[in-house]
Amino acid sequence: MILELTQTSTYPWAKWLGDALSVVPGKNLYFGIFLSIIVFLIGQWLFKISNGFFLFQPLFVGMVLGIFVLWLMAKGFHTDIATFYTSAYKPGGDLIFWFLNPATIAFAVPLYERNDIVKRFFVEIFLSLIVGTVISLYAIYYLSRLFGLSAQGIASMLPQAATTAVAMPISTAIGGNAAVTAMACILNAVIIYALANWLIKIFHLNADPIGAGLGLGTAGHTVGSAKALQLGSVQGSMASISVVVISIVVDLVVPPFAHLMGLM
Amino acid sequence: MSQNAKNQTDKNSAVKEEEKDSPVLIQMAIFASILFVSSLISPLFPASFPVPTPVIGLVLLYLLLLTGVVKLHMVKKFAEFMIGLIAFLFVPSGIQLAASLDIMKQQGWQLIIVIILSTIILLVVTAYTTNGFMWLRKHVLHRSTDVE
């Protein structure tokens, strides 16, 4: 598929840029990589000069700024943002995205480094994650109904505690929309990365490092685990184990739960 | 192997572990091998029970570290490097939402609010549930819950 951005542009410079960007998807990786790094660095810079204002978290700024740049460029090329994203940004973005695979595996190291905690609190960790997920499912279900989401919308919300790769197929299986679920998983991570410190403070979560770690890993996936690691080795280790266990718990618990609630 | 000799080798490996990180390329090779093996295991799970490649990889590396096949110094530096990058690696996922702007328009602001509140629910409920089980451990089972 070749997207003809050039024919819809009226300016000569736009024709040149469009030529460079509207290639066979997968060929021009440079734009996606370039934009990702630049917007993230701007985020880091803003975070630094604002003395750590929570809305200027680099990930959040990078996301908003990146989408804004794509929206602006799509406007310039008279195309819609989804098409422009797919043809110009996605090839390079996917390349960076791939490195989340080794980054996820890397959490085995902080997990192993605090294996003493894992061994001692094995039972508590597993029980907390299973019971916590079931309680959260009820809460998310009734919250979704309170806000008047459709059955499809509710089904899309339920699997979000798992990592995206687990949550999407489960969502489809229980009658949800996989794209909405993916969006929820991504926003989970962005929200946790931005608000973790504040949430920990107002809910007094730091009194129990094990609970804080398990919570951050469950709510924020791998990004939450990175955040937990900044708080301490116990938190990081617990968040790492929750990423694995929660995915399996969601696999096992969410389909029967959806059945119970009459969603499927 | 006599007990003495065994202690000696244990000591040696412990010293080595402290001393020297494996070359970056070796560390990357270990990660690449684990990812490759995991990608072969992942399709063996049924479609109704998906377990993605990186999750299997995390468990595999953990098991390899536990059994001592892979030593900490063989993976630690690269692992720390990757974890340090994670917020940046997540930027493309965030920007991917540009392709979902239509969904947001369809479903409206309720969806975003539900997602924000769900995130907080998952964090707080999991943490408080853990507090509950820790309380049980301490006051009912009378076992230590001290974490340094």
- DSSP for A36-73 reads HHHHHHHHHHHHHHTTS-GGG-HHHHHHHHHHHHHHHH
Total number of domains in chain B:
2
Contact A93 B95 (CB under 8 A): yes
Nearest to B85 among A89, A103, A191 (CB): A103
Contact A112 B124 (CB under 8 A): no
Q: Do residues B147 and B134 both lie within one domain?
A: yes
**Which domain covers residue B141, as residue numbers?**
93-148
Tell me which residue has tokens 């996922």: B93
Q: Do residues B41 and B1 both lie within one domain?
A: yes
Q: Do residues B3 and B51 both lie within one domain?
A: yes
Q: Do residues B59 and B104 both lie within one domain?
A: no
Q: Do residues B78 and B110 both lie within one domain?
A: no
pLDDT digits (tens, 9 = 90+) for A37-91: 999 999 999 999 998 887 888 999 999 999 999 999 888 888 888 888 888 898 8
Closest approach of chain B CAs to the CA of A90, in angstroms? 8
Counting every residue written for chain B, the total comes to 148
Domain end, chosen from B55, B71, B89, is at B89
Q: Do residues B28 and B9 both lie within one domain?
A: yes
Domain end, chosen from B74, B89, B104, is at B89
Question: Which residues in chain A have Cβ-Cβ distances shorter than 8 Å to B129?
Answer: 128, 131-132, 135, 211
Tokens of A80: 């819609």
Domain end, chosen from B89, B107, B122, is at B89
Q: Do residues B11 and B84 both lie within one domain?
A: yes
Distance CA A62, CA A57 (A): 8
Question: Which residues in chain A have Cβ-Cβ distances shorter than 8 Å to B78?
Answer: 102, 106
Question: Which residues in chain B have Cβ-Cβ distances shorter than 8 Å to A243?
Answer: 55, 58
What pLDDT does A10 receive? 62
pLDDT digits (tens, 9 = 90+) for B14-32: 444 455 888 999 999 999 9
Q: Do residues B104 and B82 both lie within one domain?
A: no
Distance CA A195, CA A183 (A): 18
Q: Do residues B73 and B109 both lie within one domain?
A: no
Q: Which of A3-7, A199-203, B111-115 has the lowest mean pLDDT?
A: A3-7
Question: Which residues in chain A have Cβ-Cβ distances shorter than 8 Å to B57?
Answer: 101, 104-105, 108
Q: Do residues B85 and B19 both lie within one domain?
A: yes
% of chain A beyond a pLDDT of 70 = 91
What pLDDT does B1 receive? 41
> Is the CB of residue A247 less than 8 Å away from at least one CB of chain B?
yes
pLDDT digits (tens, 9 = 90+) for B25-52: 999 999 999 999 999 999 898 888 888 9
pLDDT digits (tens, 9 = 90+) for A118-155: 998 999 999 999 999 999 999 999 999 999 888 999 99
Tell me which residue has tokens 């853990």: B130
What pLDDT does A26 receive? 46
Cβ atoms of residues B50 and B41 within 8 Å? no
What pLDDT does B16 receive? 47
Distance CA B118, CA B112 (A): 10
Q: Which of A19-23, A59-63, A185-189 has the lowest mean pLDDT?
A: A19-23
Residue A180, by phi and psi: left (phi above 0), alpha (psi -120 to 50) or beta?
alpha
Q: Do residues B99 and B78 both lie within one domain?
A: no
Q: Do residues B99 and B27 both lie within one domain?
A: no
